């Protein structure tokens, strides 16, 4: 099978991660980069252009990775699709509902092109194992979930594009908390009700530094989310409580190891609630992050098999952004 040839638009941290991952995957080749910042080093021998339109005009590019600040995502996704390229874009799927709808319109106008958004947390080993356990029905249905995802930032954050609403579209929730919300959707499907407190309690920027949100669906399942950048330490914690047990995941394996390994605890209740006895508890530690490769494999298989993108697709993104908008409406 001929190699799939990629271009990467934006060669910051995420662009470099995607380059490294694609370079190690069989049947893939990165043929060019588009990065206007001269301070960013481009791998030797790899062509770099500073004009993004040159990328979309190239006949030797099959697919484009969009790894730019949020304010460019919609335009570059639409241009990529309209130029006949498959497009993989980093999250978020635009800054608002209007932007994701424009991308969906371009996708519908180019049905041969695949569009996928990067939500790699779904592909972490602990999340895949939790999904397998939940789908087995061994522990009954999910009753409720609680997720906390936070980090500490310093004054240098003021100079980052993520600190500016016109570029980022939102604060810590759109940047990081959206991953936790996507995991809620992975396990529960969707939510119809949203209650939230969105606050700027410390950094005094025009973006939020904390979101406290509650989601409830038609099955009565409730999920509680706290997204924060006043945690003063990095934290990832996801707790899933089911009719006959619970699953907790503390830590998230990343390239910086800021959140530690993924420590999972699985408890199975051997007596009936409410006086449940947890006579069986299993602890598993996941030390390696394979999420980047697993996620891009989904994209590649959709292209090569000419089949719909099964997750991280535009409809998943639309469902997610509708909930994001409901959270921000209460700001």
The mean predicted confidence, pLDDT, of the chain is 95
pTM for this prediction: 0.96
- Per-residue pLDDT for 231 more than 80? yes
Q: What is the token pair recorded at 298?
A: 């989904």
Predicted pLDDT of residue 270:
73
- Condensed to tens digits (0 to 9), the pLDDT of residues 166-196 reads 999 999 999 999 999 999 999 999 999 999 9
- Condensed to tens digits (0 to 9), the pLDDT of residues 105-160 reads 999 999 999 999 999 999 999 999 999 999 999 999 999 999 999 998 888 999 99
Domain residues of the chain, as ranges? 4-120+292-308, 125-252+254-287
- Condensed to tens digits (0 to 9), the pLDDT of residues 42-91 reads 999 999 999 999 999 999 999 999 999 999 999 999 999 999 999 999 99
- Condensed to tens digits (0 to 9), the pLDDT of residues 207-222 reads 999 999 999 999 999 9
- Per-residue pLDDT for 278 more than 90? no
Predicted pLDDT of residue 80:
98
- Condensed to tens digits (0 to 9), the pLDDT of residues 11-40 reads 999 999 999 999 999 999 999 999 999 999
Q: Can you tell me whether residue 58 is helix, strand or coil?
A: coil
Residue located via tokens 């973006």: 207
CB count, 10 Å around CB of 212? 16
Segment (H or E) for 19: helix 13-23
Predicted pLDDT of residue 2:
87
Q: How far is Cα 101 from Cα 317, in angstroms, rounded to an integer? A: 10
Percent of the chain at pLDDT > 90 equals: 91
Residue range 4-120+292-308 forms a domain whose CATH class is alpha beta
Percent of the chain at pLDDT > 70 equals: 99
DSSP 174: I
Domains 4-120+292-308 and 125-252+254-287 share a fold: no
- Condensed to tens digits (0 to 9), the pLDDT of residues 296-320 reads 999 999 999 999 999 999 999 999 9
Record: fold of 125-252+254-287: Dihydrodipicolinate Reductase; domain 2 (3.30.360)
Q: How far is Cα 91 from Cα 321, in angstroms, rounded to an integer? A: 11
Q: What is the token pair recorded at 167?
A: 């570029």
Q: How far is Cα 12 from Cα 27, in angstroms, rounded to an integer? A: 24
Predicted pLDDT of residue 281:
87
Spatial strand order of the sheet with 193-199 comes to 193-199, 210-216, 222-228, 142-152, 230-242, 245-250, 262-268, 280-286
CA distances to 44, 255, 266 from 285, rounded to whole Å, are 38, 17, 11
């Amino acid at each position: 099978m001929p190699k799939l040839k990629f271009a990467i638009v934006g060669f910051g941290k995420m662009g470099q991660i995607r380059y490294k991952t694609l370079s190690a995957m069989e049947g893939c080749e990165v043929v060019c980069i588009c990065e206007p910042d001269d301070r960013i080093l481009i791998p030797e021998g790899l062509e770099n252009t500073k004009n993004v339109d040159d990328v979309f005009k190239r006949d030797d590019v099959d697919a484009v990775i969009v790894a730019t600040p949020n304010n460019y995502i919609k335009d570059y996704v639409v241009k990529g699709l309209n130029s006949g390229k498959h497009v993989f874009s980093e999250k978020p799927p635009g800054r608002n509902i209007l932007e994701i709808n424009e991308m969906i319109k371009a996708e519908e106008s180019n049905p041969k092109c695949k569009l996928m958004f990067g939500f790699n947390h779904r592909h972490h080993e602990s999340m895949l194992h939790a999904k397998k356990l939940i789908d087995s029905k061994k522990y009954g249905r999910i009753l409720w979930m609680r997720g906390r995802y936070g980090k500490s930032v310093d004054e240098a954050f003021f100079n980052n594009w993520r600190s500016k609403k016109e570029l980022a579209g939102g604060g810590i929730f759109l940047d990081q908390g959206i991953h936790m919300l996507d995991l809620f959707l992975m396990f529960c499907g969707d939510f119809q009700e949203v209650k939230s407190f969105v606050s700027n309690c410390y950094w005094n920027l025009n973006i939020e530094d904390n979101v406290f949100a509650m989601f409830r669906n038609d099955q009565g399942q409730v999920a509680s989310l706290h997204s924060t950048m006043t945690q003063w330490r990095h934290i990832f914690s996801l707790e899933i409580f089911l009719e006959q047990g619970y699953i907790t995941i503390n830590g998230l394996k990343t390239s910086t190891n800021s959140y530690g390994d993924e420590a999972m605890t699985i408890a199975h209740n051997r007596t009936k609630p409410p006086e449940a006895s947890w006579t069986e508890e299993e602890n598993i530690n996941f030390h390696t992050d394979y999420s980047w490769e697993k996620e891009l494999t989904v994209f590649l298989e959709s292209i090569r098999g000419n089949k719909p993108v099964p997750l991280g697709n535009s409809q998943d993104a639309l469902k997610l952004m509708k909930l994001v908008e409901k959270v921000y409406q209460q700001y």
